[in-house]
Structure 1
Amino acid sequence: MNNASSALKVAAGIFLTIALITIVVILFISAQEATKTAQNNFSDIQTELSQASYTVYDGTTISGSQVTNALRKFKDKDQFGIQVETGKTRKAGHWYGNALDITSSASEDKYGSVISPGNRQGDLKLTMDEASDQYVNPSGKFKASIVKDSSNVVRGLLFGQF
């Protein structure tokens, strides 16, 4: 009887150990899935926050002074371009930063002019010179829009005076 009792105690101990290991593995797998979901959510939030500085330019009307502020703010951003079409450069604006190929996405931009695929590089200093065709009137009204690539990452801004 003593041997049978010892055998039952050992068997119960092994059974409880296996049950405990099974519970730990199940909890670990559940935690792993929750961690992956949290990482994906965090990545989405991080992307939204990184692009939040551009949402102010998405289909809005802004002043010329806001255009020059945007030029200064984003001029050194890598793989980023800004096109400004003033009243003097309609349909053939100047690019500041990288010139983007936006003709493939649409032949007509959001403010009604046909986008030309030129690579006219602008000079930020000339946006303040009234004699220049790059002059941005601080009180002028511009329609702003953003340019996204196929990965939905903002690559540029378009400003068209109306």
Structure 2
Amino acid sequence: MENVSTGLKWAIGIILTLLIVAAGISVFMVTQGYFQRGQEQAVSQSVALAQSEFNNYENTTVTGTDVLEAIKRYKDRPFFSIEMKTLLMTGYNHATDKKCYSAANPSVSVTCTTLVTHTLMTDQTQATYVNPTARFKSSIYKDGNGVIRHIRFEQQ
């Protein structure tokens, strides 16, 4: 009788251990989906925050002062370019990598030929002068990964 009692205790212990392990596994499986969904939301929010600095330039009308500010702010950003079309000329501003991205295909970079610096844009004797009160239509362009690579300002 004692052997039966000991065997029963062992069997009940094994069954309880299996139930506890199964409950732990099921809780893990349920929470894994929540953790993955939370991670995806955190990534999308961080991307939205990173891209929010460009919201002012997404299909809006800005002044020449805003164009000059954008040139100063993004002049050293790698893999990024700004295209500026005035009534007299078209020029690009880019980082030291001398790469520009076109509005047609922002995923492909090309070597820039017409560099327009902030200094040239504020010099009233140059054809590249940007009047601070002029109105520009601004557009942003993203590459295949959804990263903003190009801003285009076109004088109205």
TM-score category (smaller protein) = 0.7 to 0.9
Mapping 1:1-150, distance limit 5 Å: 1-89=1-89, 93-97=90-94, 98-104=99-105, 119-150=113-144
Q: 1: distance between equivalents of 2:33 and 2:84?
A: 47
Q: Structure 1 stretch 28-37 or stretch 54-63: which is displaced more?
A: 28-37
Runs of at least 5 residues in structure 1 that lack an aligned partner in the other structure: 106-116
Distance in 1 (alpha carbons) for counterparts of 2:49 and 2:105: 28
Cα distance in 2 for residues equivalent to 1:19 and 1:103: 61
- Kept in 1, the 8 Å contact 2:92–2:114? The answer is yes
Runs of 4+ in 1 over 4 A off after TM superposition: none
TM (norm. structure 1) is: 0.85
| % identity of equivalent residues | 28
Query: Which letter maps to 1:133?
Result: A
> Per-residue CA shift, 1:42-70, capped at 9, x if unaligned?
11111110000001100100110011001
Report the equivalent of 1:114.
Answer: none
* Superposed displacement of residue 8, structure 1: 1.3
Return 56-65 or 34-43, whichever deviates more.
34-43
CA–CA separation in structure 1 for the residues paired with 2:61 and 2:102: 23
* Higher deviation after alignment, 136-145 or 121-130: 121-130
In structure 2, distance between residues paired with 1:18 and 1:104: 58
TM-score scaled by structure 2?
0.88
Deviations 1:117-149 (Å, cap 9, x if unpaired)? 973111220100112121110011110000111
